Structure 1
Amino acid sequence: MSVEEKQRAENGRSYDVVVVGGGAAGLSGALMLGRARRSVLVVDAGRPRNAPAAASHNYLSRDGVPPGELLAEGRAEVARYGGEVVEGEVVAAEAVGEGRFRVALGDGTAVGARRLLVASGMVDELPGIPGLAERWGRDVLHCPYCHGYEVRDQAIGVLSTGPMAVRQALLWRQWSDDVRLFLHTGPEPSDEEYEQLAARGIAVVDGEVTGLEVAGRGEDGDDRISGVELAGGTVVPCRALVIAARFDVRAKVVESLGLEMAETVMGDGAVLGSYVAARPGGATGVPGVWVAGNVADPMATVSGAAAMGVRAAGEINFDLVEEETRRAVRERRVAV
């Protein structure tokens, strides 16, 4: 078959639902839709947000499982109920009629869908400190509920780059009594915040962080952060560094559909990133399009993202049932 013939064949495929993204949210939604006897295609670019982490946590009965293993088992479960999972990227999607979408893939092919579930996740924007990105998800961390237990009772540093750093330091103090707040480029804490930090035994370190000191060979993954280097050359002992990453949605398909964006704002007014605005079940302002997972809630953990995918799938299936019922009623009236 020629490339042109293959593309024409691919372009003829159509599904009840196309799921954009094969993480916990997308696969959970696809699993539920497959069990509802819907034809489902999951398009996964293979860049899960938690890929650098050694394990996923707080997922009942699956705590500690490596992210890659969890997703591999999820893909197998989806396939068991007739769902398809393909590696690729959705570069655009557009409505081509009532209840119909054309979904363009990065390889030049396109498929049809009656409904869309966008679960394409987030992209984390990390501070530009040399060596930090390479250690992201290992001992450069952001979520205490995901990683705090693994670094409990160790020396933990919190890198201040914005107004929520003091809150982070106070939170991580739950897991260790050896916590330091590196002021770096963040704002000076208020008098009240200094008092809170002192009351919890959290040291405040002045100066900009310029690098990380790492101990171990790294041949078997046994290398670890041993210290944080300041601009003046001083190295402060540290075994884990907490940061506040900015997170934004993977934007190609979101932009093409014209989905409404919103900002993630903390209680103190700090803007942490963006997400797609949606109703509680994941329905967006674009008819026929649902969102689930981090694209809709940047703070969702693996189990939370999976739950969002399940709820969105239930709404999608019922929306299709209503459409099919309306069609059946029209056809019955014509026949009568």
Structure 2
Amino acid sequence: MVTEQLKNSYDVVVVGGGAAGLSGALMLGRARRSVVVIDAGTPRNAPAAGVHGLLGREGMAPGELLELGRAEVRGYGGHVVTGEVDTVSRTDDGFAVTLSDGRTVSARRLLVTTGLVDELPEIPGLRDRWGHDVLHCPYCHGWEVRDQAIGVLGTGPMSVHQALLFRQWSDDITLFLHTMPSPTEDEFEQLAARGITVVKGEVASLEITDDRLTGVRLSDDTVVRREAVAVMSRMVARTDFLAGLGLRPEQHVSGLGEHIPADPTGRTEVPGVWVAGNVTDLSAQVGGAAAAGAFAAAQINADLVTEETRRAVEAYRNTFSAENEARVSELVSADRRHGM
């Protein structure tokens, strides 16, 4: 990835180089703001073969989409720098951003788009197949596993809902109760009505043959043939570097993980800090994250315009006051010269 030299200061530092961050930087560049994207190069969707549900870019490889975005940001004078942010601290004029390699940069405003980490159950084979035939979102991957034998790994109260959703893409769905709470009577009835098989007992591992998932092995060594497995991950925002500002993740209302709360514009409780994408919206897909990044960037620009206007008015008043005082002094001196 091409990377620019990091300057000393920018109007806005964008932390995170995914769809939200690049879209935000693009908007800021078009607003004639100096902006840099600091990208650690670890996008959440890196294991996926393609981006789905994004109009005009359906099926494009995630890496290709990001490279196009970087080029567009650079086309408007924005910088894209490879690095990982270690800490952020408050300064008189904004923020000091320190990277893990010791580099520092100052910013008047901060847009955080670092996304999240998917925490998965400790089951052999699960992490290795993540993004391939171990999935989480039917809208992201359902079409690719349509009509296949799909297993849903029960990890929490949303697993029944997940099984019912995947039933839209296949009539061969098995819900492995694993460690989830037992479904209610109503839920058992819903599962039965939709033809979803329920299997009790904990899952011990996944069966992999020739680089493909072929089954789910239970703790009693029973193997259930499956071609794909859906699992609800615990999603945690990547924001440790914000702790110095007192900005820490909170439990999401859905119970599915932790996020940074923000208002509808992306503004956080810390003045000057905005967030966009999965770092605040756990369920945002690529298109939604990109839209949120662009919207937050527009609010940041408006905030900077407000600050610059206030400073301009203060300077104008000071200049006018000084000119007025000089004029009064000149009149007084003239009166004295004429003996008045």
TM-score (normalizing by structure 1): 0.92
Give 1:66's aligned residue. 61
Amino acid at match of 1:45: A
1:304 to 288, 299, 313: 288
Give 1:93's aligned residue. 88
Q: Would you say the 8 A contact 2:237–2:249 is kept in 1? A: no
Query: CA offsets, 1:154-190, max 9 Å, x none?
Result: 1000000111111111111011100000011111111
Give 2:256's aligned residue. 272
Give 1:35's aligned residue. 30
Amino acid at match of 2:65: L
Give 1:250's aligned residue. 238
SS at 2:102 equivalent: coil
Q: CA deviation at 1:297?
A: 0.5
Instruction: Say if 2:176 is the partner of 1:192.
Output: no
SS at 1:265 equivalent: coil
Q: Would you say the 8 A contact 2:239–2:248 is kept in 1? A: no
SS at 1:117 equivalent: strand
Amino acid at match of 2:129: R
Q: CA deviation at 1:332?
A: 1.2
Q: CA deviation at 1:254?
A: 2.4
Q: Would you say the 8 A contact 1:21–1:43 is kept in 2? A: yes
Instruction: Say if 2:188 is the partner of 1:204.
Output: no
SS at 2:21 equivalent: helix
Amino acid at match of 2:235: F
Q: Would you say the 8 A contact 2:240–2:248 is kept in 1? A: no
Q: Would you say the 8 A contact 1:30–1:42 is kept in 2? A: yes
Q: CA deviation at 1:327?
A: 1.1
Instruction: Say if 2:318 is the partner of 1:324.
Output: no
Amino acid at match of 1:323: E
Give 2:159's aligned residue. 165
Give 1:144's aligned residue. 138
Q: Would you say the 8 A contact 1:41–1:85 is kept in 2? A: yes
Instruction: Say if 2:7 is the partner of 1:48.
Output: no
Q: Hey, what's the Cα distance between the residues in 1 that align with 2:240 and 2:159?
A: 31
1:237 to 215, 218, 225: 225
Q: Hey, what's the Cα distance between the residues in 2 that align with 1:286 and 1:188?
A: 41
Give 2:278's aligned residue. 294
Q: Hey, what's the Cα distance between the residues in 2 that align with 1:295 and 1:209?
A: 30
Q: Hey, what's the Cα distance between the residues in 1 that align with 2:148 and 2:106?
A: 52
Q: Hey, what's the Cα distance between the residues in 1 that align with 2:244 and 2:287?
A: 28
**Bigger radius of gyration among the two:** 2
Q: Hey, what's the Cα distance between the residues in 1 that align with 2:204 and 2:187?
A: 25
Amino acid at match of 1:272: L
1:124 to 118, 125, 132: 118
Q: Hey, what's the Cα distance between the residues in 1 that align with 2:108 and 2:37?
A: 14
Q: Would you say the 8 A contact 1:92–1:257 is kept in 2? A: no
SS at 2:142 equivalent: helix
Q: Hey, what's the Cα distance between the residues in 1 that align with 2:244 and 2:66?
A: 27
Q: Hey, what's the Cα distance between the residues in 1 that align with 2:118 and 2:126?
A: 13
Give 1:263's aligned residue. 251
Give 2:324's aligned residue. none
Q: Hey, what's the Cα distance between the residues in 2 that align with 1:257 and 1:125?
A: 25
Query: CA offsets, 1:225-253, max 9 Å, x none?
Result: 11111111111110110101101111322
Give 2:338's aligned residue. none
Amino acid at match of 1:193: E
Instruction: Say if 2:277 is the partner of 1:282.
Output: no
Q: Hey, what's the Cα distance between the residues in 2 that align with 1:110 and 1:203?
A: 55
TM-score (normalizing by structure 2): 0.91
Q: Hey, what's the Cα distance between the residues in 2 that align with 1:259 and 1:312?
A: 18
Give 2:326's aligned residue. none
Q: Would you say the 8 A contact 2:175–2:199 is kept in 1? A: yes
Q: CA deviation at 1:207?
A: 1.5
1:83 to 78, 99, 110: 78
Q: How many residues align?
A: 316
SS at 1:113 equivalent: strand
SS at 1:124 equivalent: strand
Q: Would you say the 8 A contact 2:14–2:111 is kept in 1? A: yes
Q: CA deviation at 1:258?
A: 1.4
Q: Hey, what's the Cα distance between the residues in 2 that align with 1:291 and 1:207?
A: 41
Q: Would you say the 8 A contact 1:260–1:285 is kept in 2? A: no
SS at 1:229 equivalent: strand
Q: Hey, what's the Cα distance between the residues in 2 that align with 1:146 and 1:193?
A: 25
Amino acid at match of 1:254: L
1:24 to 19, 25, 47: 19
Q: CA deviation at 1:212?
A: 1.1
Instruction: Say if 2:221 is the partner of 1:226.
Output: no
